[in-house]
Structures are given as C-alpha cells and as structure tokens.
Chain A
Amino acid sequence: MTAATGDTASASSAPPPILQLRGVDKLFGEFPAVDRISLDIREGEFFTIVGPSGSGKTTMVRMLVGMDKPTNGDILLRGERINDVPANKRPTCMVFQSLALFPHRSVGQNIEFPLKIRGVKAASRKERALELMAQLRLPESYYGKGVSQCSGGERQRVALARALAFDPEILFFDEPLSALDYKLRKILEKELKDIHRETGKTFVYITHSLEEAMVMSDRIGVMNKGRFVQIGTPNEIYGNPSTRFVSEFMGEVNILEVGPGPDGTVIDQATGASYHAPPIADSFAGGSLVIRPEDIRFLDDTASPAANKLEGVVYNEYLLGSRVQYQVRVGDAQVFLVEKLREQQLASARGGRVTIAWDAKDSTIFPTARFAS
C-alpha cells in the first residue's frame, strides 16, 4: 500500500470511507474512458459525479455497481476489494436512467422484487412495499396498478422504492431525472435529498447538470475526459472553480483570453485592453480570465471608481424568470453577458449605452496548461 499517494488521509474525525477507488482505469481498446481515478466516498454522504456526456461518468458508475470490471486499479467496499464481485452479489444497487421498471409487473411486484429474490414471505414483502410507498408518497391503491399506467414522477418513486427495498449500502443513480420536465425535476431533487436524510444511506448520483448536483449533494466530483477535475462541496465548486472547464461547466460565463501585463495586470489578447485581476504567478504566460455574468454590474456614473470599466451597448435582453440577462457589445467583437435580478432591470434596454464594471476579486484566472488539460 505504499503506492496509495495523494488521497485524502482518513482523519480521525471524518467518518471512514465506505467506497474507495485506487487508480481505477477503464480502457476501451486504447481509449481510457476512466483514467486512473482515486476517490474516497464517505459513509452516508450524497456524492454527485457530474460531467458532460462522454466524460466517463456512466462507465465509472457501471464499474461501481459491478456491471463492468475496471481494466486496472482496485475498488474497495469497506476496505474489501470488490473488483470481481458481480452486481448481483454486491450490497449496492442502482436506479437506472431508463428506470428499468419491470413492465409486466405491478407497482407492488416491482417494489417487492429484491425481497422476492431473497425469499422473503409474501405477507412481509407486501408490508414492506406499502411502508416504502407511504414513505415515497405513493397512494396505497397503486399497489396493484401496472407501472405503465403511472406518470413520470410516480415511476421515479416506484424505481426508488424498489431500490430502497433492496436495502443497499450504497444507492447509485444514473441520471434518473433527466427525462422529466423542469418543474417535476426540481420537486424530485428535493424529495431525493429528503429521502437521503431520512434513510441515512450513502447516495452516489450521476448527472450532467451541475445545477442538479448543487441542489442535492454534500460533495461533487466534476469529471472531464475520464478524470476528476475538481472534488469539493457545492460551495467550493461554485465559489472556487479549479479550472476553466469547471467554471464554464457551471453555466454561462464570460471568458477572455489574456496574457501577462505590467504591474500584475493582464492584457486582453483580443482587444489589447488591460484588466486588474487576482494576483498571478511570475511564471504566468497566458490563460483565461473568467467573470460570472452576475459579478458584472452596470455603473450609473461613468466616473465612479471601479477596477475594471468598459463601455458598451446593450443589444439583447433576456428574461430568465427572477433574473434578467443582458448581452452587452463592447467594441466590435466582444460581447459580455451580464445578469441582474429582475428588480435591477435597466430602464432603457436595447440599444442603450451602458458602462459595465467588475472587481478584480470577482474574476478568476486560469493559466493555460502547458499540456492539454
């Protein structure tokens, strides 16, 4: 175990990790879908793996539940190597993207399936199923109903109840909410978080939506090209993205390609403008300056002091519910996104001249990696 480097040391206060990955690889031919990942998942936490499609998150979860084997590395459950334990022998289970409800079985039979496999008697199976249905707010009358007669949200609850009936040590989710409409998804995200608290189980959730991850998770691992680019709490990820990829993945941001300038400033490589930015290393040779749309403000008075000031013309306004987004054209080629609360909506919108400003501390610098990130 001398090779176990760079992993979070199990501090005495932190609960012991329930699931550990040690240098796990999954190669498809030459291509590493999952690339030398080491990770500790703590007992009882809600851990979300988030990444764009093709980032390797589905491959990863298939290995974690036992549907695929890693090419290299070890997966440990409570310290025991489980690489070669097949899915049906692992004390974990998954809620599938398609939910994979059994179409020829009723709601009750679906939920009871794992109990039936274990040889639990019909009466106690039914008792447990009704208990879970009550917990997930499925009416008792649904017990004998066909799953095809259930709505999208009800089907989610049946799938979750079936997984809970299995009583897994870790419950995995492979984007189960992605097919639902926005409003229902928001409701179910919160319900899922409640269920997590009520059951105290370890949840590992896969999604491509960082927004969804933010709502539910204790910790988030952002994946790209088979690797974790950042692991942290939602606050850490949002407040302190570690790479340009993470900040871009979080939503629409302003990105400027910059080079080093005098006195710790940076020079916009497109326009030659110079900006105040957070402190940069001496070795800084160029990179991306990222500014969130909500961190840019409109100045009423062009004379008022601000670290970075630009004049531009509003050429688009989008209402985003409680917020308003503006596209501000600066010069000929640059467009800045600015987001405000609805109360702060500009009086004269399209075509109006505005001054936009932001502080150095609200921007983030990501030096260009010397090697492809």
Chain B
Amino acid sequence: MNDFSHRATWAYGSAMAALILFMYLPMITMALASFSRSKYFSFPVPKYSDKWYLEVFQSLSIRDFFWTSTVVAIAVACLSTVLAFFGALAFARYDWKGRRLFQKIILLPILFPQAVLGLALLLWFTALGITPSWQATVFAHLVWIAPIATLVIAIQVYSFDPAVEEAAYDLGASRWQVMREITLPLLAPGIFSGFTFAFLLSWANFPLSMLSSGADSTIPEWVSAKLQSGYTPQVPAVGTLTILAAAVVMAFGYQISAFMKRRQVKAG
C-alpha cells in the first residue's frame, strides 16, 4: 500500500514536471535564442550576447509599438473594468427581464474565432468610414475582453449575499453609500482581477489588433510581421521582454490582491 502510494506520488510528480517543462521550455528557448550572438538559433548556444536587446532598446519603431500596446492595454483594461462591473451586476446580481438572454449573448464574442470577429469588425469600420487606428483596436479588444472581465467579476458577485446591500440600505445608507461602503469593497478583489485579466489579454492579443490597428502596430503585430519576413533575434528579445512585462503585471497584481486580503482579514 505504502509502496503503491509512493509510486503514485512519484508518477504524479513526474507528470507535473513534464507538463511544466512542455509549457515553459519554449519560453526558455526563446530567452536563450534572444541571448544568442548568432542570428540563427542552435543549441547549446555557442556564444552569448546582449546585443539584440541593445538594438531593441535603441529602435525607435519598437519603442512606438511598445507604446501603442501599453496605451491600448491600459485603455482596454480601464474601459472593460467599468463595463464589466455594471455588466457583472446585471449578469449575476439583479433579476431583470432580459437577463437570461444577456447571459447568453455576452458569452458569444468569447467563443467566436478572433480572426472572424476581427474581420467582422473591420468590415463595419470600413462601412462606417472609421479609419483603422489604435482607437479602433481598443474598441475591437473591448468586444472580446469586456465579456471575459464581466465573467471574472460575476464570479465575485455570486459569492456575496445580496441581503448585505439591503441591510445597509435599510440602516439608512443611500444607494451611493451602499455602493461605496458595501458593494465596491466586497467586489474589489474581483474588479482587480478583471482589470489585470483585461490588461494581459489586450497586451498579448494579435488577431484583433492586426485587423483593426491600421498604421498603429502593437508589439504582437510587429513580432508576427518580423517572423514572416526579416527575422532577427530582436524578435525573441522582444518576446522575452513582453512575457517579462506580463509577469511583472501579474506579480504586482498578486501582491495587491494579497494586500487587499490581509487588510480585509484585519478589518473584518
């Protein structure tokens, strides 16, 4: 019995290790490729160099792409968090006539292939005479990301007792005070993860950006273009930096949510 459980643990452990290896090995490879001096990747890396990174940092065009990606991601994160906050209340908290339909419709954009969604949006932009630009990209991202953020926040909405809001109202609070004192603080962890999610999804999105951004390219677009023609190890260097940026956002988010949790436990 003991022997069996020992072996089971061992098998489970190796399966997990293999899984992690398969998931993260490509990223490690990319990091290695970005530090390799030669233009084409070979393993083991014969000579390390940071020259691709220097080139990346010196490139004005890459700086532009980075800037576009950041602005788009921040705009998408802010807008979709606001939309998702109210969307989540409509989705999970209030009973209203079209609620069931709303719950289904909001899922559809998530399930659409993004290339199709992007194409549909592009056709609309053209029909309406809107020139593709980073603003159009923000809109395109919102169509896909706001529903996802809505679901993330809705999970938090489901986890709290609606009577808590009624009790606050009954104890004399105005609707606005209920929102500020009760609803917002209780939903804060969900709102925060919705925001982080939205930022990261927008940051990494390629198909919607490609079809909507026109001249304002984002980092994933630049990566894709360079892969098709004119590959240099700048590509893995930018890729590594992008992942690093996402990791920093995630770590930062984790710290903030841990802080919020600590404060809540302390206070209540």
Residues of B within 8 A of A103 (CB): 160, 164, 186, 268
A-to-B contact residues, CB < 8 Å: 65-67, 86-88, 93-94, 96-98, 100-106, 109-110, 113-114, 117-118, 146-148, 162-163, 166
A96 CB, min distance to chain B CBs, angstroms? 5
Residues of A within 8 A of B173 (CB): 88, 113, 117
Give residues 131-173 of B contacting A (CB, 8 Å).
160-161, 163-164, 166-173
Q: A146 near B268 (CB under 8 angstroms)?
A: yes
B244-268 CB contact bits vs A (8 Å, 1 = yes)? 0000000000000000000011111
A145 to B175, CA, bound (A): 27
B225 CB, min distance to chain A CBs, angstroms? 48
Q: A102 near B172 (CB under 8 angstroms)?
A: no
Known A-B contacts A100-B164, A102-B164, A104-B186; A113 and B268 likewise in contact (beta carbons under 8 Å)? no
Residues of B within 8 A of A148 (CB): 268
B interface: dominant SS: helix
Residue of B nearest to A95 (CB): B167
Q: B171 near A96 (CB under 8 angstroms)?
A: no
Quick one: which of A67, A87, A104, A117 has the most chain B CB within 10 A? A104
Q: A67 near B163 (CB under 8 angstroms)?
A: no
Q: B267 near A100 (CB under 8 angstroms)?
A: no
B-to-A contact residues, CB < 8 Å: 160-161, 163-164, 166-174, 177, 181-182, 185-186, 264-268
Residue of B nearest to A106 (CB): B268
Nearest 3 pairs between A and B by C-beta? Answer: A100-B167, A100-B163, A105-B268
Residues of B within 8 A of A96 (CB): 163, 166-167
Residues of B within 8 A of A147 (CB): 268
Q: B177 near A102 (CB under 8 angstroms)?
A: no
Beyond A93-B170, A113-B168, 9 additional contacts (C-beta under 8 Å) are A88-B174, A96-B163, A102-B182, A104-B267, A106-B268, A114-B172, A147-B268, A162-B171, A166-B171
Known A-B contacts A88-B173, A88-B174, A103-B186; A109 and B163 likewise in contact (beta carbons under 8 Å)? no
B154 CB, min distance to chain A CBs, angstroms? 18
A10 CB, min distance to chain B CBs, angstroms? 29
Residue of A nearest to B169 (CB): A88
Q: A87 near B268 (CB under 8 angstroms)?
A: no
Residues of A within 8 A of B171 (CB): 88, 93, 113-114, 117, 162-163, 166
Q: A104 near B168 (CB under 8 angstroms)?
A: no
Residue of B nearest to A94 (CB): B170
Q: B172 near A118 (CB under 8 angstroms)?
A: yes
Residues of A within 8 A of B168 (CB): 102, 113
A23 to B172, CA, bound (A): 27
Residues of A within 8 A of B164 (CB): 100-103
B105 CB, min distance to chain A CBs, angstroms? 27
Residue of B nearest to A97 (CB): B163
Residue of A nearest to B265 (CB): A146
A97 to B163, CA, bound (A): 9
Q: B267 near A109 (CB under 8 angstroms)?
A: yes
Residue of B nearest to A107 (CB): B268
